[in-house]
């Protein structure tokens, strides 16, 4: 194995609040990240940190890891990930951070009436969230950290090869684990397939299998890079 002394796994969706009761998020369950963390914990004796967003309850706490940390928003996720990065770390970003957040969170519940300027609707103004992997890459370069391997996931509805490779370059990371998602594909409990890419192209295909087995094989792969 590479000489990683710490493994960080992120998991699940982040939430961006519109008001005290409503948020923007996505359909990630946290299952893949959970099983990756759980598999690392069974296989290696290094520090393991599991950082999760709003996963299903059963994917919120991984047994036998050093720390389970809950976060809510994408900015919180970025800040916690950066605070945990040290030399000789493997970061597996299985989380599905919300890419946009409302420009402001209303202090009180937004009411249906009083929506001036719209026709029986509500106009939302969103701003872009930071990209956690890009922020981590900048942090590593800015602080001269060494041996920090970053692995991302690319959930795509089309052009997986092209998008996966573009994300490796844009985020400055070592590997992308790609899969197709859509309504009833790739999220939640059902079987899926993944393709692992590096900057040169496809390095491994896994599945279709249940996510537990996919996670197990991803971990085997990462322990041998």
Q: Which chain residues interact with ligand CTP by CB under 6 A?
A: 74, 93, 95, 97, 99, 129, 131-133, 152-155, 167
Output the smallest distance, CB 96 to ligand CTP, in A: 6
Considering beta carbons, is residue 46 or 82 the nearer one to ligand CTP? 82
> Tokens 């914990």 sit at which residue?
41
Residue carrying the six token digits 């008001």: 19
Residue with smaller CB distance to ligand CTP, 6 or 167: 167
Which residue carries 């969706």 as its tokens?
13
E strand or H helix that includes residue 93: strand 89-93
The smaller minimum CB distance to ligand CTP, of residues 122 and 169, is found at: 169
CA distances for 92 relative to 10, 106, 113, 218, angstroms: 6, 34, 44, 10
Of 47 and 99, which has the nearer Cβ to ligand CTP? 99
Q: How far is the CB of 153 from ligand CTP (least distance, A)?
A: 4
Minimum separation from the CB atom of position 53 to ligand CTP (A)? 10
Compute the least distance from the CB of residue 29 to ligand CTP, in Å.
14
Q: Considering the complex, what minimum distance in angstroms separates the CB of residue 211 from ligand CTP?
A: 16
Q: Which residue matches tokens 């209303």?
A: 106
Calculate the alpha carbon distances from 63 to 52, 75, 102, 197, 199 in Å: 14, 26, 35, 29, 34
d(CA 120, CA 177): 42
Residues in CB range of 160: below 8 A, 6 or more apart: 154, 178, 179, 180, 195
On whether the CB atoms of residues 129 and 75 are closer than 8 A, the answer is: yes
Instruction: Give just the sign of the alpha carbon dihedral 179, 197, 146, 170.
Output: negative
Residue 110 or 138 with smaller CB distance to ligand CTP = 138
Taking the least distance from each CB to ligand CTP, the nearer of 48 and 53 is 53
Token couple for 173: 């990371």
CB of 178 to ligand CTP, least distance (A): 8
């Amino acid at each position: 194995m590479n000489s990683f002394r710490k493994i960080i796994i992120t998991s699940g969706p982040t939430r961006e609040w519109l008001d005290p009761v409503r948020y923007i998020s996505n359909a990630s369950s946290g299952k893949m990240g959970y099983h990756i963390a759980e598999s690392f914990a069974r296989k290696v004796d290094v520090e393991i940190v599991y950082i999760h967003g709003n996963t299903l309850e059963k994917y919120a706490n991984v047994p036998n890891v050093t720390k389970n940390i809950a976060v809510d928003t994408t900015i919180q996720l970025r800040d916690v990930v950066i605070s945990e990065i040290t030399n000789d770390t493997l970061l597996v970003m299985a989380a599905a951070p919300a890419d946009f957040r409302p420009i402001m969170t209303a202090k009180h519940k937004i009411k249906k009436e009083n929506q001036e300027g719209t026709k029986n609707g509500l106009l939302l103004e969103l701003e872009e969230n930071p990209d956690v992997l890009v922020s981590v890459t900048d942090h590593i370069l800015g602080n001269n950290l060494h041996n920090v391997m970053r692995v991302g996931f690319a959930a795509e509805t089309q052009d997986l090869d092209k998008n996966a490779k573009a994300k490796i370059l844009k985020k400055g990371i070592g590997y992308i684990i790609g899969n197709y998602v859509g309504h009833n594909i790739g999220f939640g409990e059902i079987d899926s397939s993944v393709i692992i890419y590096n900057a040169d192209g496809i390095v491994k295909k896994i599945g279709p299998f249940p996510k537990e087995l996919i996670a197990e094989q991803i971990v085997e792969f990462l322990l041998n890079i």
